[in-house]
Amino acid sequence: MIKKPAILATLAGNRTNPGSIATMVAAGMKGVRFNSAHASPDEIRRLTAMVRSVDPSQIILVDTKGAEVRTTSLAGDADDLPVLEGAKVRIIDGGKEPSTVRCLCITASGVCRMVKEGMNVTVDDGEICMRVEQVTGDSVECRVTKGGRLGSRKTVCFRGIELDALPAVTDRDRMAIEASVEAGVDIIAHSFVRTQADVAAVRELIPEGSATLLYAKIECREAVENMDSILAAADGLLCARGDLGATVGIERVAAVEMACMARCAAAGKPLMLATQLMHSMMTQPSPTRAEAADIAFAVKGGVDSLLLTGETARGNYPVECVEWMGRIVNATCDYLDSGKLL
């Protein structure tokens, strides 16, 4: 029989309570993801205990920041703000000030000095796209080529830059990993892994004998180039298609996804697939045909789990997302197992 992948959903602390968790479990959710870029160590402990109190069998995953670049929190009380196409936006290195629609402060230092005029910049997995027009020391001036909604602490990708200078593990990561292990989290997924050494640096922070597994997120060019050695050091892979598309090009995402499937199958290690699996359901109550086909082919390819991200963390239809994904998975498995079409 074909392996039926588990459905995991990203939950945000501000919309997570025992009732909402129970509703998602009833819809078919088998696991929960908490993002340490938004959840503090204390929140990781609290939310993990809350999920366990509702359903002890739930898989719990926490992902770390790693060598990623993010905006700071938004100024004011707004959850998100509109960034308009054609607008000028300044990006400031190593900023600690809140971000605005005219000025994005990014958490990493030294990045802007590596940027060149004409480079493409994406924010929040391509929700907002910009082109660099001018570089001035620790800041760059950009023109928005695709407008969108800007939220707090969103990933920023400068296409063509390899961020070797950024540390594999940050102080925030260390605190998140310690809290995750203490709370009995099942999986730690480390972001922006570049080499086997990055995996080893995280492994050192997980006590020997711990049941917590370590997945490496494949989401940058260096990770694709070093996939075999990274997989050898990790317990599994998480193919994170959002930043992956921004770093290697959207046209290569499917090929990298298939390579992850083949490598994990050969190594006998699990693969999780994430990002924009049902992106249209951020605002619509049902998926597109293309999204349904995407999930079906992932099932056929042998993925072990499917991770919903923004769709359930901040989308309008989190429960429906889980229900629809379950229906697609079940229908695909019915056909692959018995040839049943209707």
User: Residue 290: phi, psi to the nearest 5?
Assistant: -65, -40
Q: How far is the C-alpha of 58 from the C-alpha of 111, rounded, in Å?
A: 39
Question: What CA–CA distance (Å, rounded) separates 230 from 225?
Answer: 10
Residue 128 pairs in a beta bridge with 123
Point out the residues that are catalytic.
33, 70, 217, 275
Q: Which helix (H) or strand (E) holds 48?
A: helix 41-54
Closest by CA to 2, choosing from 300, 240, 225, 228, is 300
Crossing angle for the helix pair 41-54 and 18-27, to the nearest 10 degrees: 60
The answer to whether the CB of 24 falls within 8 A of the CB of 319 is yes
Contact criterion met (CB below 8 Å) for 149 and 175: no
Cα-based distances in Å from 93 to 42, 71, 101, 108, 163: 28, 10, 16, 6, 14
